[in-house]
């Protein structure tokens, strides 16, 4: 069955540190890839997405992610985190032959210390 | 940015009771979804809905669950007889299209936390 793995359950960083959150998926076909963020008490918000083309995608708030097809990975990065990036981050995958549903990873909680 | 609205934010119920979770999708969206997240676990797909019909449902979405679009704006998830294991955060989402097009972006609500006692 298709699955998504996020390797880090909880990441603690100081402000200005660089961030990389891992995401791997298990499906071999064509996929769409997403990162969502949930700030405390708020809705899941789309950070960035990959459908096709340039495997390096840029999203909101300085985040970017790189799709590496050979590694089935879609890691999220930010060069310098801020306290306001404290949130939970979810990687999600949609495969071409499985309708519209998203398959989520378990989420990574990011805590940024001021 | 348009938002998906969910009410209530927290619902407490007794085991065996019926609950209805409500969602107002983004106004021009045609596809609607429910997901849930049990504490400490992954966000899981429950059901997708289009044109007053279920498009797809997961194994979780058994006969205890139903969805409805009772009017032009609301999209509801009903659990007929709640169990302890139904305690979770329930997320509603909507999208303009379905399938693999670039407009198929799912926008999520803030969730309803259901606590079954």
> Residue A7: which pLDDT band, with cuts at 50, 70 and 90?
confident
Q: What residue ranges in B1-117 does DSSP mark as E strands?
A: 5-7, 10-13, 19-24, 31-37, 43-50, 53-57, 65-68, 75-79, 88-95, 107-108, 112-116
Phi and psi (nearest 5°) for A75?
-80, 140
Q: What is the pLDDT of residues B30-56, one digit of tens each?
A: 999 999 999 888 899 999 999 899 999
Which chain A residues have a beta carbon less than 8 Å from that of B44? 104
A104 — contact with chain B (CB < 8 Å)? yes
Taking 70 as the threshold, does the pLDDT of residue B28 lie above it?
Answer: yes
pLDDT-wise least confident of A1-10, A23-32, A74-83, A95-104: A95-104
Taking 70 as the threshold, does the pLDDT of residue A93 lie above it?
Answer: yes
Which chain B residues have a beta carbon less than 8 Å from that of A54? none
Cα distances (angstroms) measured from residue A56 to each of A2, A33, A51, A79, B20: 23, 12, 11, 14, 42
pLDDT score at A97: 67
Phi and psi (nearest 5°) for B84?
-55, -40
pLDDT-wise least confident of A27-31, B64-68, B112-116: A27-31
Q: What is the pLDDT of residues B49-107, one digit of tens each?
A: 998 999 999 999 999 999 999 887 899 999 999 999 999 999 999 998 876 676 789 99
pLDDT score at B100: 64
Measured in angstroms, the CA of A102 and the nearest CA of chain B are apart by 7
Q: Do A102 and B45 touch (CB under 8 A)?
A: yes
Taking 90 as the threshold, does the pLDDT of residue A43 lie above it?
Answer: no
Q: Do A90 and B91 touch (CB under 8 A)?
A: no
Share of chain A above pLDDT 90, in %: 78
pLDDT score at A98: 66
Q: How far apart are CA B30 and CA B35, in angstroms?
A: 17
Span A68-83, average pLDDT: 96
Q: Do B104 and A43 touch (CB under 8 A)?
A: no
Which chain B residues have a beta carbon less than 8 Å from that of A51? 100, 102
Span A54-83, average pLDDT: 96
pLDDT score at A28: 73
Span A43-72, average pLDDT: 94
Among B3, B33, B95, the residue with its CB nearest the CB of A43 is: B3
A19 compared with B100, residue with greater pLDDT? A19
């Amino acid at each position: 069955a298709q699955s998504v793995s996020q390797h880090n359950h909880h990441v603690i960083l100081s402000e200005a540190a660089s961030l990389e959150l891992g995401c791997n998926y298990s499906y071999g076909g064509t996929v769409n890839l997403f990162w969502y963020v949930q700030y405390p008490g708020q809705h899941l918000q789309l950070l960035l997405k990959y459908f096709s083309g340039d495997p390096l995608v840029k999203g909101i708030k300085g985040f970017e992610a790189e799709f590496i097809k050979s590694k089935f990975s879609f890691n999220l990065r930010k060069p310098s985190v801020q306290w306001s990036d404290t949130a939970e981050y979810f990687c999600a995958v949609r495969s071409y032959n499985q309708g519209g549903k998203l398959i989520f990873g378990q989420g990574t909680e990011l805590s940024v210390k001021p | 940015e348009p938002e998906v609205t969910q009410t209530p934010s927290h619902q407490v119920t007794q085991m065996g009771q019926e609950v209805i979770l409500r969602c107002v999708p983004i106004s021009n969206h045609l596809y609607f979804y429910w997901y849930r997240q049990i504490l400490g676990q992954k966000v899981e797909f429950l059901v997708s809905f289009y044109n007053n019909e279920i498009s797809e449902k997961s194994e979780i979405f058994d006969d205890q669950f139903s969805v409805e679009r009772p009017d032009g704006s609301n999209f509801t998830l009903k659990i007929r007889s709640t169990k302890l294991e139904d305690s979770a955060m329930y997320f509603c989402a909507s999208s303009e299209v379905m399938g693999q097009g670039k407009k198929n972006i799912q926008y999520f609500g803030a969730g309803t936390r259901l606590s079954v006692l």
